[in-house]
């Protein structure tokens, strides 16, 4: 079922849930809703066990966790995140565990792959009707709803053109949320001209040139663009780092088995695919997460409010990632 069908219809939750699709922001929310429905907050320490793919050892620990008895609760919950990052054999072992979850436990697997992906094969189609499947792939209508809900959460409003632009965009919803958080800091209605200055949904060619130069290992060119950008716009950090996060996200997608770029980025495949084979999935993911954390630090105030501090952050991230495409 689609993400918002899950939210609106509140279906019964069984022993197995697979969260699939491509939008991490919706996947994270789906996990939160599932936990709220399955376990009261005061029961989670004793009845919730998490297994991030980055810390995976073997499937036996997940199997043991699903077979343990709940403690003073109706159910025990086991959560496996980023299963799409697991290699072939661990995915097979996880699938075997998923098909044998006993009553009294719920196994939630976050497998952020399109249900139509070929390599790796998504877990959702393999478990079929044995699982509740929540597809986070977002249509234009779903994106519009997400934008409006985010605005409500932020206590902000926006021109209709802003909502329409973000709904049509193919930028990840996590990046859209970051953009709206930044724009909502002004405490006024978000106008389209505000979006043009801050959001990758309305792309800035200069910010994009910075991101592509850095990913391709052209550090001098990337730093030159940073200096030029900040000379003309002291608020340049968000568009630069947002562009970098998107480019690194494309690189990460190309590094995954069977990874495919969205239609609007297909023209980058000729450059990004050989880079991705050199960089590898882990390094591409680390680069993406570093850029996203940079955006979050500015949006949340963790990087301070001085544009000079923001420029220093961008320069530091640029230098840190300068060797990403080296052999």
Q: Are 105 and 79 in contact (CB under 8 A)?
A: no
Burial of 233: CB neighbours in 10 Å, binned 0-12, 13-18, 19+: middle
- Does position 316 have pLDDT exceeding 90, yes or no? yes
Q: Compute the distance between CA of residue 35 and CA of residue 28 in angstroms, rounded to an integer.
A: 11
- Does position 250 have pLDDT exceeding 60, yes or no? yes
Select the highest-mean-pLDDT range: 125-134, 193-202, 253-262.
125-134
- Does position 203 have pLDDT exceeding 70, yes or no? no
Q: What is the per-residue pLDDT for 14?
A: 96
- Does position 317 have pLDDT exceeding 90, yes or no? yes
With vertex at residue 2, the alpha carbon angle to CA 199 and CA 101, rounded to the nearest 5 degrees, is 120
Which range, of 100-104, 112-116, 248-252, 259-263, averages the lowest pLDDT? 259-263
86 backbone dihedrals φ, ψ, rounded to 5°: -75, 150
Topology of domain 141-320 in CATH is Zinc Finger, Delta Prime; domain 3 (1.20.272)
Structure tokens at 147: 């934008």
Q: Compute the distance between CA of residue 48 and CA of residue 41 in angstroms, rounded to an integer.
A: 10
Query: What count of other Cβ atoms lies within 10 Å of the Cβ of residue 313?
Result: 20
Total number of residues shown for the chain: 327
Q: Compute the distance between CA of residue 162 and CA of residue 201 in angstroms, rounded to an integer.
A: 10
Helix (H) or strand (E) run with residue 3 in it: helix 3-9
Query: Per the confidence metrics, is the pTM higher than 0.75?
Result: no
Peptide bond into 120 cis (omega under 30): yes
Query: 64-102: per-residue pLDDT in tens?
Result: 999 999 998 889 999 999 898 888 899 999 999 999 999
Q: Compute the distance between CA of residue 8 and CA of residue 171 in angstroms, rounded to an integer.
A: 25
Q: Compute the distance between CA of residue 204 and CA of residue 199 in angstroms, rounded to an integer.
A: 8
Q: Compute the distance between CA of residue 130 and CA of residue 70 in angstroms, rounded to an integer.
A: 21
* 3-135 maps to CATH 3.40.50.620: no
Structure tokens at 327: 């052999």
Token pair 């980023």: residue: 82
Residue 85, CB half-sphere, CA atoms under 13 Å: how many? 18
170 backbone dihedrals φ, ψ, rounded to 5°: -105, 10
Q: Compute the distance between CA of residue 312 and CA of residue 234 in angstroms, rounded to an integer.
A: 12
Q: How confident is the prediction for the chain on average, in pLDDT? A: 88
Structure tokens at 88: 């072939």
Query: 154-184: per-residue pLDDT in tens?
Result: 999 999 999 998 998 777 787 788 788 878 8
**pLDDT-based confidence at 53, cuts 50/70/90?**
confident
Query: What count of other Cβ atoms lies within 10 Å of the Cβ of residue 161?
Result: 11
Which three-class secondary structure state does DSSP give residue 171? coil
Q: Compute the distance between CA of residue 159 and CA of residue 194 in angstroms, rounded to an integer.
A: 10
| Domains of the chain by residue range | 3-135, 141-320
- Does position 327 have pLDDT exceeding 60, yes or no? no
**pLDDT-based confidence at 29, cuts 50/70/90?**
very high
β-strand partners of 79: 50, 108
269 backbone dihedrals φ, ψ, rounded to 5°: -60, -40
pLDDT above 90 covers what percent of the chain? 50
Q: Compute the distance between CA of residue 53 and CA of residue 132 in angstroms, rounded to an integer.
A: 21
Largest distance between two CA atoms of the chain: 62
DSSP secondary structure of 61-128: HHHHHHHSPPSSSS-EEEEEE-GGGS-HHHHHHHHHHHTTPPTTEEEEEE--S-TT--SSPPHHHHHG
- Does position 54 have pLDDT exceeding 70, yes or no? yes
Burial of 95: CB neighbours in 10 Å, binned 0-12, 13-18, 19+: middle
């Amino acid at each position: 079922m689609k993400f918002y069908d899950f939210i609106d219809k509140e279906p019964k939750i069984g022993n197995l849930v697979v969260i699939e699709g491509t939008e991490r922001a919706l996947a994270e929310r789906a996990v939160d809703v599932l936990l709220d429905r399955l376990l009261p907050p005061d029961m989670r320490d004793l009845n919730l066990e998490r297994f991030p793919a980055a810390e995976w050892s073997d499937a036996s620990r997940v199997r043991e966790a699903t077979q343990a008895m709940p403690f003073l609760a109706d159910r025990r919950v086991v959560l496996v995140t980023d299963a799409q990052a697991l290699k072939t054999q661990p995915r097979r072992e996880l699938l075997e565990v998923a098909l044998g979850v006993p009553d009294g436990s719920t196994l939630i697997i976050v497998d952020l792959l399109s249900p139509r992906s070929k390599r790796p094969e998504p877990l959702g189609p393999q478990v079929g009707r044995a699982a509740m499947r929540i597809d986070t792939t977002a249509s234009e209508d779903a994106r519009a709803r997400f934008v409006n809900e985010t605005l409500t959460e932020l206590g902000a409003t926006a021109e209709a053109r802003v909502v329409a632009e973000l709904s049509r965009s193919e930028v990840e919803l996590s990046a859209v949320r970051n953009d709206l958080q930044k724009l909502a800091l002004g405490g006024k209605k978000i106008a389209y001209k505000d979006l043009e200055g801050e959001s990758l949904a309305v792309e800035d060619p200069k910010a994009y040139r910075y991101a592509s130069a850095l990913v391709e290992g052209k550090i001098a060119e990337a730093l030159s663009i940073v200096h030029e950008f900040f000379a003309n716009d002291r608020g340049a950090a968000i568009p630069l780092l947002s562009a970098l996060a998107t480019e690194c996200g494309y690189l990460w997608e190309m590094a995954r088995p069977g990874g495919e770029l969205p239609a609007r980025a297909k023209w980058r495949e000729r450059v990004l695919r050989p880079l991705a084979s050199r960089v590898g999935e882990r390094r591409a993911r680390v680069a993406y997460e570093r850029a996203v954390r940079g955006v979050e630090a500015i949006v949340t105030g963790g990087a301070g409010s001085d544009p000079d501090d923001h420029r220093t952050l961008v320069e530091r991230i640029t230098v840190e990632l300068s060797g990403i495409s080296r052999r």
